[in-house]
Every structure is written in structure tokens, then in C-alpha cells.
Amino acid sequence: MHQPSRLQQDLANRIVALVNDDGLAVGALLNENGLARRLAVSRTPVRGALRYLEDQGIVARRPNRGVELVAIPPKAQVAPAEDHDEWLVRIARDQRSGSLPQEITEGEVMRRYGLNRASVQRILSRLAELDMVERKAGYGWRFLAGTRDRATHDESYRFRLLLEPAALLEPGFHLEGAWIEAMRRRHEETLARPWQESSSVAFFEMNADFHEGLAAASNNRFIHAAIRHQNQLRRFSQYDWKFGFERVVVNCREHMEILDHLARNDREVASLLLRRHIERASLIRASGTDPG
């Protein structure tokens, strides 16, 4: 029983998603060539993914005939094998908590977290893209924590105020009805479920998906990319944020009101509401609770 590679795990998940999308029933035969074409890879990793699913009892090989679906696969088959993002968050947190020095070498990071050099370089490069760290002149890296978090917060909100409301008014704007519905359900569920500290991350991600989804709907790739970037930045400074439930309620209500107007294609009002929503969020988060 081979350990599946990163790509194979990924493909396994995507195959499960395809099976769901296609509405296949137990007993259906999967086709290696077809899957390979749809997934834009060769047959080899597809076979690896299928072998992995076989180990899990999702499919069964029928020699020379195909691969039969023998169980309805659960939605999130495997945790989407952990990304570098985990490390980004962890390192950013360690730095904020003071357990990492402000200046650091690649080797130190390698030893400290037990990573190989290539991974460390990728991670530090990504942190550099986010302006959380910079290369020192000779060698080593320097955290820019001091300069962030102070003025940055306001600049970020002003930046978003310029883009997000305008996104809804872009000529190419188009939002799928299904997206609106799914998003509304997620908000309702968040409101219905009992609140606990650990919901913070899920709440943050719902929030990020809401704003990113609207930006994506603008069909302007630069607006979309800019908002995605903002979300990444906020992810670092706010994962530790402890939201009070009152704040969650207000936030969801505002989001849902915007969704209502968008469902009726009333983009102008939605844009205004979104502007106010961001302005309010800016004030609340600026009021000092943020532990950043």
C-alpha cells in the first residue's frame, strides 16, 4: 500500500468532486483516460489516485474492465494535504509573539521547524510578497512587524474601500444565483450554530470568501487579485482575533442584506451597503481590541 504523492491525493479529491458533480451512482465505471484528460494530467497519477481511493474502499478495480464506484464518497475525502500556508500562519504568529528574533537566517528557520532549505525559501519568499519580511543586504531576513499593524490597518481599509464597492459596478459584473444561495446558507448556519471560540477561523474564512467572491464576480482579474491579496494579509493578523458573537451577528446581517440586493440585481444599493459595511468594520477593528 503505497503512500500517495501530493498530486495523487489532490487528484483523489478532485475525482471525488467530479463524481459528485456528475451525479454518478454506485456501480458506475470510471475511465482512466477520461479522468486524465479532464484533470489535465497523464494517466499515471490518475492511477495512483484511484489506487488510493481503492485502499479507502471508495472504488474497486475490475481487471481489464475499469474501476467501479462502490461507495458514495464523503464530501471532503482527505484534508487537502497541508499547504505551505500552515507554515506561513505559524511563522507569522511566532514572530508576533516574540518567540522569533526580528532578524533570522534560513538555516535557523530550517533547524527550528525541521524544514528543508527549499521549503524555507518558498515560505520566506511568500512572506516577502506579503511585505511581512524582507531580505537583508548580505544574507538573512528581517521581519517588518513593527511597520505593519499600525498605519497598515487603515491603509488596507482605505484600499478596499476604493475597490470593493466599485467591483459591484464593473461592466462585466456577474454573480451566479447558486453562489448567492450557497453563501446565504453559510451565513444562516453560522448564525444558527452555537458560538464558540474555535469558530473564529471558520468565520474568518466565510468572511474572506464573501468578499473574494464579490471581487471575482466583477470579472476584473486585477480587482479580484488585489482583494485576494488583502484576504491573505488579513488572514495572518486576524486568525488569532477573537470575535464576539454580537459582532458576528451584525456582520452576517450586513452581508445578507447585500446578498438580497444582489439577488435582485440592485447593484447600486448593494455597492453603497458594501461601502458602509467596510467603513463600519474598519472602525470596530480599529478600536483597540485587535491584539496584533
Partner DNA sequence: GATTGTTCTATCTCACGATGAAATACAATA
Partner DNA sequence: TATTGTATTTCATCGTGAGATAGAACAATC
Which residues form the interface with DNA (CB under 7 A)? Answer: 2-3, 5, 7-8, 29-34, 41-45, 47-48, 61, 63-67, 105-108, 116-119, 121, 136-140
Q: How far is residue 267's CA from residue 165's CA, in Å, rounded to a whole number?
A: 9
Contacting residue, 54, 93, 159, 260, with its own copies by CB under 8 A: 159
- Site track for its own copies across 172-211, x = CB under 8 A: ----------------------------------------
Q: How far is residue 281's CA from residue 184's CA, in Å, rounded to a whole number?
A: 20
Closest CA to 195 of 252, 150, 153, 148: 252
Q: Which stretch, 178-186, 209-217, 224-232, 284-292, contacts its own copies (CB under 8 A)?
A: 224-232
Shortest separation between residue 69's beta carbon and DNA, angstroms: 12
Q: Which stretch, 54-62, 72-80, 156-164, 273-281, contacts its own copies (CB under 8 A)?
A: 156-164
Shortest separation between residue 73's beta carbon and DNA, angstroms: 17
Lookup: cell for 258: 447585500
**Nearest CB to its own copies, comparing residues 6 and 253:** 6
- Site track for its own copies across 40-69, x = CB under 8 A: xxx--x------------------------
Per DSSP (E only), the strands in 25-157 are 29-30, 59-62, 66-69, 103-104, 133-135, 141-143
Question: Residue 135 belongs to what H/E stretch?
Answer: strand 133-135
CB 275 within 8 A of CB 165: yes
CB 58 within 8 A of CB 73: yes
Partner in contact with 105, chosen from DNA, its own copies, none, beta carbon below 5 to 8 Å by kind: DNA
Closest CA to 33 of 25, 44, 22, 49: 44
